[in-house]
Structure 1
Amino acid sequence: MKPSAYLAYVIIGGATAWEFPKVAFSPYDHDGNEQQQPIAPLEVDDNIDIITGSQFHGLKTFANLPYVNCFSDDEAATKRYDIAILGAPFDTSVTGRPGARYGPTGIRIGSQSEDVLHDWATIVDCGDARLTWLDNNVAFRQLDKSHKVVSSRPTANSTISKTPRILTLGGDHATTLSALRSAFVRWGQVSVIHFDSHIDTWRPDVLGGGISDYAGLNHGTFLHIAHEEGLIRNTSIHAGIRAPVIRKNSDIKNDKRCGFEIITARDIGKAGGIADIISKIKERVGNSGVYISVDIDVLDPAFAPATGTAEPGGWSTRELLTIIDGLRGLPVIGADVVEVSPVYDNKGETTGLAAAHIGLSLLSLMVAVPVKADANT
């Protein structure tokens, strides 16, 4: 069959159709053999958009937000922001499976099809803090300084707040300590809403510190240390707890001393369910500034297998997102999603997707209620 000289769409209903350009072409070569029609080059259209429209292009930032090198004085001076995403690729203070150093990347990949509600706020992704994996003491000093620098920049909308807020992507849960240290400098003591299957208020001499002082700061002791440093209020709360404690009576006693009440994972099945949990959290923190920390293992392993210390019997992704969204109206001064270890995820990257949605919900809470830092007054 002889090839057509050109292809064209049929004009239907009087609508204007388009067609490939007509090119002078002989269907046979000099020897009389049938030859393939060449593809005509397309003309360059100056109006073609090459900036937007694809979730598969370029560097992977959270929800395709603009990247800003927040550690560069020159760049931060010209690209101001109100809320920053900061990765904390660190996992050398875990007591279970390692791998959370790859969590920030996994969460960003899971967020590629999402859009962030900006409203008044300019939100950017600062990339990851540069953390060594060979010395925890140095790594925590690096992360402390990273938070200090990112939160010290002038904001894009200074009429609302002069201090940026930070959503941290972890990383193991000990990285939250650096965020709380930074938050204290800017906002003073905060109430912590801690979504987790573990209490994380163990005394260092009980978990890690019995080996060495170096080992005493880890992902199960950071809230104890935060309390000892005077960073958090005695109006904090755990939600989703279900893992066993090391010393039943003394661990719970110390947890209360650190300022926490407990909502267990199974409380969701009691009368009142999700609505009651939301109400208890709001009542507990009152009008204080709030820091929300979400360990992905608060979810049942069926919904989030990719974590270091998985505990069966947790909440579903829908239940957790409903609870977080129900906290709308609280003055959230900072937040994190931690303990995502992508190497343990399934082929559908279920955990990364869940963590990304959690991050978006946390950002929505931050945008919904602008907060002025103590430095603004």
Structure 2
Amino acid sequence: MSETTPLDKEPGQANEKDGLSFQPISGFDLPRYAGIPTFMRLPLLGAKDVGIDDVDIGIVGVPWDGGTTNRPGTRHGPRQLRDLSTMIRRIHPTTGARPFETRNIADLGDAPVNPADVADALQRITGFYTDLKQRGITPLSAGGDHLVSYPILKALAADAPVGMIHFDAHTDLFDSYFGGFKYTHGTPFRRAIEDGYLDPKRVVQIGIRGTMYDDEDILWGLEQGVRIIRIEEVDDRGIADVMSEARAIVGDLPTYVSFDIDSIDPAFAPGTGTPETGGLTTREAQRMVRLLDGLNVIGADLVEVSPPFDPSGGTAWVGVSIMFELLCILAGAPGTKRLRPPLGHDK
């Protein structure tokens, strides 16, 4: 039996011959449609598995949409994103980044959730990410609806508020829905600011657009010091100028990145709960994320992929492509645990 048989290279397992190398399985060793899908064909590790404390970046699914107010289905996002992520290869085509060679990266499974109780689900998610923080693992998360960002921030910013660069069609700064309900996918960042997990003067929201109930969310955000950049301003100023301002606002302090798939035009990503026309192209979105390089990013998420509205997987492919861009940023961030020498060339 050769050294590169599928039995040696089953996705979701560490390669024992190489030690805990955390390397993704090459499509030259096992077809990308074969094997058990894990995020980017990486080893799947749980809290009690050997090697968990050697993980630098953990990719986590948060299969929950209990905060959705209109079209549901994002609870199924992580599973479809995992499946489509098997097409991700090792090397970034533009920057040359090789995240799997410089960091130990693993699929850490799904955060625990409760589909029947919002408060309990938020508590379970926070507990999961608190454990990752204590282990020094930087999380890259796949939602789920956008409310999942709140319990993640609650864990990561428990000691001090952080900044945020937020790509979205909506501010998610609303106060409440349906007569005072405070926790929906339209309220996470208002709660995070109020509770001291986000520094509003270091929050930048990019791509905002669409019809509105009123302007209360925007006015409240501006009063707190949030920088809101509508899609028209992105068009007028250009990507490089907008991202230069975003970098200046967050500076070199700890910063979270949240990417809602609906920031991208539904022509490219229709599988989401609240699509808005006139959004970013996929190419524009990739460029914007690449311009986060070198920032002190402590975690990131990609949310609101809803497979029932795009069973073909096209939206999920856009999502995992953005996740790889975010992964490359996290791999180069100064706070991620440790840098290792290259392990070799991709096949």
Shorter-chain-normalised TM-score: which range? Answer: 0.7 to 0.9
**Residues 315 and 48 of structure 1: is their aligned pair in 2 closer, same or farther, counting only changes over 3 Å?**
closer
**Residues 287 and 66 of structure 1: is their aligned pair in 2 closer, same or farther, counting only changes over 3 Å?**
same
**Residues 334 and 47 of structure 1: is their aligned pair in 2 closer, same or farther, counting only changes over 3 Å?**
closer
**Residues 152 and 317 of structure 1: is their aligned pair in 2 closer, same or farther, counting only changes over 3 Å?**
same
**Which runs of 5 or more residues in structure 2 are unaligned?**
10-28, 91-98, 338-347
**SS of structure 2 residue aligned to 1:119:** helix
> Taking structure 1 as the reference length, what is the TM-score of the superposition?
0.77
Larger Rg: 1 or 2?
1
Summarize deviations over 1:323-348 as a string: whole Å, max 9, x none.
1101111111000000000111153x
- Which residue of the partner structure matches residue 203 of structure 1? 175
- Which residue of the partner structure matches residue 353 of structure 1? 317
1:170 to 143, 148, 155: 143
Native 8 Å contact 1:305 1:346 kept in 2: no
1:64 is aligned to 2:52: no
**SS of structure 2 residue aligned to 1:101:** helix
Structure 1 residue 59: Cα displacement: 2.1
- Which residue of the partner structure matches residue 161 of structure 2? 189
**SS of structure 1 residue aligned to 2:109:** strand
**Residues 258 and 171 of structure 1: is their aligned pair in 2 closer, same or farther, counting only changes over 3 Å?**
farther
**RMSD of equivalent CA atoms:** 1.8
What amino acid is the match of 1:274? Answer: I
Amino-acid identity (%):
33
- Which residue of the partner structure matches residue 13 of structure 1? none
Rounded Cα–Cα distance in structure 2 between residues aligned with 1:191 and 1:259:
12
- Which residue of the partner structure matches residue 251 of structure 1? 217
Native 8 Å contact 2:61 2:141 kept in 1: yes
- Which residue of the partner structure matches residue 287 of structure 1? 252
Rounded Cα–Cα distance in structure 2 between residues aligned with 1:78 and 1:264:
41
Structure 1 residue 46: Cα displacement: 5.3
- Which residue of the partner structure matches residue 312 of structure 1? 277
- Which residue of the partner structure matches residue 106 of structure 2? 124
Summarize deviations over 1:165-201 as a string: whole Å, max 9, x none.
0011000000000111111136x32111110000101
**Residues 128 and 84 of structure 1: is their aligned pair in 2 closer, same or farther, counting only changes over 3 Å?**
same
Structure 1 residue 244: Cα displacement: 3.1
Rounded Cα–Cα distance in structure 1 between residues aligned with 2:158 and 2:50:
20
Rounded Cα–Cα distance in structure 2 between residues aligned with 1:299 and 1:244:
16
Structure 1 residue 268: Cα displacement: 2.8
**Residues 371 and 46 of structure 1: is their aligned pair in 2 closer, same or farther, counting only changes over 3 Å?**
closer
**Residues 350 and 145 of structure 1: is their aligned pair in 2 closer, same or farther, counting only changes over 3 Å?**
same
> Taking structure 2 as the reference length, what is the TM-score of the superposition?
0.84
1:218-367 correspondence to structure 2 within 5 Å = 218-233=184-199, 234-248=201-215, 250-270=216-236, 272-345=237-310, 347=312, 349-367=313-331
Native 8 Å contact 1:177 1:223 kept in 2: yes
**Residues 245 and 47 of structure 1: is their aligned pair in 2 closer, same or farther, counting only changes over 3 Å?**
closer
Structure 1 residue 78: Cα displacement: 5.8
Structure 1 residue 48: Cα displacement: 5.5
Structure 1 residue 47: Cα displacement: 4.6
Summarize deviations over 1:285-334 as a string: whole Å, max 9, x none.
12221100000000010010000001111011110111110111111100
- Which residue of the partner structure matches residue 75 of structure 2? 101
